[in-house]
Amino acid sequence: MSRSLIVMPDDTARPILDAIAAAAKSLRIKMFLFSDPDLLDAVIAAHQRGVKVQVMLNPARRGGEAENEATRKKLERAGIEVKDSNPAFAVTHEKSMVVDDAKAFVKSLNWERKNLTETRDYAVITEHGHEVAEVLAGFEADWHRKDFEPGDRAHLIWCSSNGRERIAEFIDRAKHTLFVQNERYQDPIIIERLVRAATRGVKVHVMVRPPHTLKKDKLLEGVGGIRILKDVGVKVRKLKHLKLHAKMLLADGERAIVGSINLAPGSFDSRRELAIEVDDHHVVKRLEQIAEHDWEHSHALDLTDEGLLADLAKRGEAKIGAEKLALKGSKAKKASKGSGKQTAKRKVKAKGKAKVKSKRKR
């Protein structure tokens, strides 16, 4: 029994394709987004050689976008069993696969081309029987629309079950260093735990995506969360050459969590999510190498009012963002615009008066 790590985009989709190609009996796939043509062809090929394939797809994003429809139709035309994910959850954000009931993949990456080539993402492969059995139990429960409660003795990290508690406890146990890579820093409990870690002397390194990538209704929590962290001395940075999509925590170079969970209330409370905690030396050391490499190839995020306005302007939403976040720079700009208009009006009036005087002199 062992665990191993896939790092994207470094390792490419090859380990996943190889696992699908090696499947002899069954494939169970649960995916938030599935559109990569190579993976789609591999799954269909497995079905055609007699492997029992079951695919569960998230039917739509929270905003209503149904991005898996084309994949669903192609799979169904090939004769593969496909179901929408469990409607008990607002969204199924879990990304998992079980091969032959013996090997489970717990991932942050979607099966989209960009997650295989452009984003920092991870997957842990486990052959530990109790962990594989738990992923299977979660799949079967969602497939048959039954409740799944792994309980206090759960080996894995599930939402909306033990996710917030397990991640908070993981942070609380950090003694020296903590690397966090995540798209969202919005959950107040997790923000509080990160603040406590920093104040007790843990060197906390936080990797984020820029604020302009946040949805409008998430600006307050998202920007507020990372600004709080910055205010207590946490270093907050963004990647230079890759998009960050990973959901990873690494403590003391000894333990790590990898999975689909964003650090947001929605992920913890209303979505189906899955993550795994590992302490295998070779897995953790590689995660540490990648985290340090990414940190070296990143730069500090400017979280001043001016910096946030400049970042939000990249999406053409500086005004909306400024109002939501009460940024001082917005008032200054409005004032400067107002004073500019007044100055222009005074100049026009002055010119008008000058013309009148010249006419009178004539």
State the catalytic residues: 93, 95, 100
- Count Cα atoms within 13 angstroms, Cβ side, for 182: 29
Are 286 and 7 a contacting pair, CB within 8 Å? yes
CA distances from 207 to 135, 178, 185, 237, 243 (A): 28, 11, 10, 5, 11
Beta strands in 9-112 (DSSP E): 26-31, 52-57, 81-84, 91-92, 96-99, 103-107
The token duo for 110 is: 């979607």
CA distances from 36 to 3, 47, 109, 238 (A): 25, 17, 12, 26
Sign (positive/negative) of CA torsion 238, 236, 256, 259? negative
DSSP three-state, residue 351: helix
Alpha helices, DSSP H only, in the chain? 14-22, 37-48, 69-77, 113-117, 129-143, 163-172, 188-199, 219-231, 265-269, 281-296, 305-313, 318-325, 328-361
Residues in the chain: 362
Cα gap 137→135, rounded to integer Å: 5
